[in-house]
Amino acid sequence: MFKKVLIANRGEIAVQAIRTCRDMGIQTVALYSSTERDSLHVRLADECRPVLSEKRYADMDEVLQIARETGSDAIYPGYGFLAEEANFIQRCTHEGIVFIGPPAEVVRRCKDKLGMMEMVDNAGHLTPRRSLEPATVEEIDKLAAMGAEVGYPLVVKACRGGRGRGSRVVDRPEKLPDIAAIAEREAERIFGDGHLFLERVISPSHYVVVEILADKQGNIVHLGEREGSVLLRNQKLIEEAPAPCLSDEQRRRLWDAAVDIARRVGYQGAGGFEFLVDGEGKFYFTEIKARIQVEHAVSGMLSDVNIIKEQIRIAAGQPLAFRQDEIRLSGCAIQCRINAENPWQNFMPSPGILTTFRLPGGQHVNVDTYGYVGCTIPPRYDSLLAALVVWAEDRPAAVSRLLRSLQDFKIIGVQTTLPMHLQMVTDPAFVTGDYDTNFMRRFRFEEPHLDDRTRQDFAVAVAVAYAGRTGAKEPAIPQRMLSGWHRSSRRLPS
């Protein structure tokens, strides 16, 4: 097992990784940028080092240099930054440092979306209708012909993309050139490759992910599936397991398909195998996220498996600690992604300092976060502040526990998406589980309504605050109300 692991990430995933390493008796090194010196992951690690490059956590040279200087024998990437950079994984191998994740060749295979879909087609699994070749905006005639063949509405996708980046929906042919140009620029900036392909929109649909663990000995297991159909700008706001859109028979066939694809691609480590389920219940493979995902804790709660721990064990060459028939998937788990964003201002990021941070608690309630009172929420990184996950014996009980936990959660100092989540989880479509990827198009987020009870609570709070400030023991008229100036200002003209 490793002696020291460099955590090449920040935020709540870095906190989770450090705590898991501490449980396993492994020392950790935290990285931090200039605005995150006091971040929780820095406080929890055994050592910490600043990242000085403008690329910060994504600078391969600096991360490897710090790993060498600190004597780290492994690097944990989490998600984002260097998590799916095949060149970085190769460099780690060359340096004799273990990358805790899939090998470089597997990552390259997974990021080649067209190649992956062709392999899945040949294996007899369904994939969405799509263009068979990549193209760029300079080849606009080729893109237009591809669009006519695929059919509208369609999605413009980055060939090397992930996390929904470089993806745009086009509903009419005349919009294709402009939208493709936007997608290409985004793909080039984020992935270094602007090549695009086109995919037919499946609507209505459900976005379903199967969590896979695979070791170096060839053992592969799944931890069930999650549904993440509540999407905003290609980001999942709520994810739950099991997926309410599937029957038991569909569920078993989906698991078998994911395991078969994982075996064919030679997968190792933890990964999310993503599918779209159409209105008829047919499921279509879309891509593999060759890394851990924000929503991994949902599968962890459902299966009682620490996925980060298994990632580390697999990277160290150890076989999986269990086999498929030993995994028990029970109950229902739901996660809400709490972002430091202002939902009333088009989800503008809300950096600042947390002055109040009260976490919900109780049985089967977990919050993964880097927040604490006095913590600085920086402006330059992903706005994810906390991932709230609950478990219960069935879905109605889990929804009820989730609502109570959201009501208990209190954050002051920055704007967050908590008010929006409170409305979403009480929406009739979500309560019944009868929702799909069009949920956010129909959902109307409204300003909080102050009912009579809430107004009474505010009045009592103001009265108590006034009494505390003035030391008054009995009802009294404020002194300023008794001044001659105040009386004169209210006198009616004669």
- Mind telling me the catalytic residues? 291
Nearest CA-CA partner of 298 in 403, 247, 228: 228
Q: Would you write out the chain's pLDDT as a tens digit for each of its 494 residues?
A: 999 999 999 999 999 999 999 999 999 999 999 889 999 999 999 999 999 999 999 999 999 999 999 999 999 999 999 999 999 999 999 999 999 999 999 999 999 999 999 999 999 999 999 999 999 988 989 999 999 999 999 999 988 765 566 688 999 999 999 999 999 998 888 777 888 999 999 988 999 999 999 999 999 999 999 999 999 988 899 999 999 999 999 999 999 999 999 999 999 999 999 999 998 999 999 999 999 999 999 999 999 999 999 999 999 999 999 999 999 999 999 999 999 999 989 999 999 999 999 999 999 999 999 999 999 999 889 999 999 999 999 999 999 999 999 999 999 999 999 999 999 999 999 999 999 999 999 998 876 666 777 778 888 888 888 777 776 556 666 666 666 665 665 566 65
Q: Could you tell me if residue 87 is left (phi over 0), alpha (psi between -120 and 50 degrees) or otherwise beta?
A: alpha
How much is the pLDDT for 2? 97
Give residue 464's pLDDT. Answer: 83
DSSP secondary structure letter of residue 346 = T
Specify the pTM: 0.88
Sign of the torsion angle spanned by Cα atoms 406, 411, 417, 423: positive
* pLDDT score for 489: 59
Question: Quick count: other Cβ atoms within 10 Å of Cβ 35?
Answer: 15
Q: Which domains, from first to last, does the chain contain?
A: 4-100 (3.40.50.20), 129-200 (3.30.1490.20), 205-442 (3.30.470.20), 454-494 (no CATH)
Whether the Cβ atoms of residue 86 and residue 274 lie closer than 8 Å to each other: no
d(CA 167, CA 184): 9
For 459, the 3-state DSSP assignment is helix
Residue 460: its pLDDT value, please? Answer: 86
Residue 199: phi and psi, rounded to 5, are -135, 135
> Residue 339 — φ and ψ, nearest 5°?
-105, 150
Q: What integer pLDDT is reported at residue 167 of this predicted model?
A: 81
Residue 370: count of CB within 10 angstroms of its CB? 23
pLDDT computed for residue 307 by the predictor: 98
